[in-house]
Amino acid sequence: MTAPIVSIIIPVFNGERHLGEALASLEEEPGFQLDIVIVDDGSTDRSLDIVSEISRRDQRLRIIRGPHRGVAAARNVGVQAAEGEFVTFLDCDDVCPRGRIARQLGKLLANPEVAYVVGQTLLFEQLDDAQCPWPGSRSVSMLLPTLHCALFRRGVFSQFGLFDEELAFSEDLDFFFRLAEHDKQALVEAEIASLYRRHDGNMTRNGRAIRTSTLQVLNKSIARRRAMGRRKPLDLFFVQHQEAETLFGRPPSDDARDRSEAGTQ
């Protein structure tokens, strides 16, 4: 049987500082083929040179170049170019934990009703060779609505659309809201699924802009729920602390029951 293909989308904008480390974390793993889709979002530094150099010895890499349009647009280009039936993400300044993709893929394959698996995010300043925070450096582990801690079935994107390019920030939060509005089942795991570097250049340091885009996400979600007549609260995985693996969203049988009760077969 052919091994499943997992596409990992890496948007890059002037990421020369940590890009090599990010790509080096995508080691060959048994059980699946990795389709690495680098979407260069108009970098003006040495990012493309670094990727080109690595792609000469790593046939799994594909490079898509384009003008600077923002991270949501870059991710959308990547999703549209993805060859895998499963899709995940990595930012060019972050690190993929060893074994993360294989572990999450195993959970998706074992649970056909689950749309995506999401794990914990470890925010760090510096890692050692074992991918552990450097002694004395700052780190914290938490459950965040970020794309690089999740593995999705590709069908999720064809069913619910791509990332909202209107949003300067929080397009990931918006995407998770859309899935929750439709009660798509998510398996939340206790393991670390993302190594998220905090540094001077993080986009997510602009607190005021993030708060504004968060309100924009809420506004869009409220409008969608109003349009679909949904009154039931969302089952949002990232607002609760999880000590153990937990299933969010409702099984498809509940949806069928609701449709039946509403008389809309």
Partner 1 sequence: MVVAAADIGILEVSTPDCVANDFDGEIVALNLSSGVYWSLRDLAAALWRDVTSGHNPVAIADRLAQINSNLAHESHLIIANLVNAGLLRPCGTSPVALEGSETVARAEAGEIAFSVESYEDMKDLILADPVHDTEEHLGWPVIRNDNGVGA
| Interacting residues toward partner 1 by CB under 8 A | 123, 138, 140, 142-145, 198, 202, 204-205, 207-208, 210-212, 214-216, 218-219, 222, 233-236, 238-241
- Please, which residue, 10 or 234, has the CB nearer to partner 1? 234
CB of 231 to partner 1, least distance (A): 10
CB of 39 to partner 1, least distance (A): 24
For residues 175 and 161, give the distance between their C-alpha atoms in angstroms, rounded to a whole number.
Answer: 9
Task: Provide the b/e sequence for 41-76 (b: ≥16 CB within 10 Å).
Answer: bebeeebbebbeebbeeeeebbbbeeeebbbbbbbb
For residues 55 and 85, give the distance between their C-alpha atoms in angstroms, rounded to a whole number.
Answer: 22
CB of 217 to partner 1, least distance (A): 9
For residues 82 and 59, give the distance between their C-alpha atoms in angstroms, rounded to a whole number.
Answer: 15
CB of 222 to partner 1, least distance (A): 5
Query: In the chain, at which residue ranges do the beta strands (DSSP E only) sit?
Result: 5-12, 33-41, 61-66, 86-89, 116-124, 139-142, 150-153, 186-197, 246-248
- Please, which residue, 7 or 121, has the CB nearer to partner 1? 121
For residue 149, the cross-strand partners are: none
- Please, which residue, 126 or 240, has the CB nearer to partner 1? 240
**25 close to 93: Cβ distance less than 8 angstroms:** no
For residue 248, the cross-strand partners are: 186
- Please, which residue, 51 or 144, has the CB nearer to partner 1? 144
Residue with token string 């924009």: 216
- Please, which residue, 65 or 225, has the CB nearer to partner 1? 225
CB of 89 to partner 1, least distance (A): 17
DSSP single-letter state for residue 203: G
- Please, which residue, 44 or 240, has the CB nearer to partner 1? 240
- Please, which residue, 165 or 235, has the CB nearer to partner 1? 235
Residue with token string 């509005």: 181
**20 close to 50: Cβ distance less than 8 angstroms:** yes
CB of 30 to partner 1, least distance (A): 33
CB of 230 to partner 1, least distance (A): 11
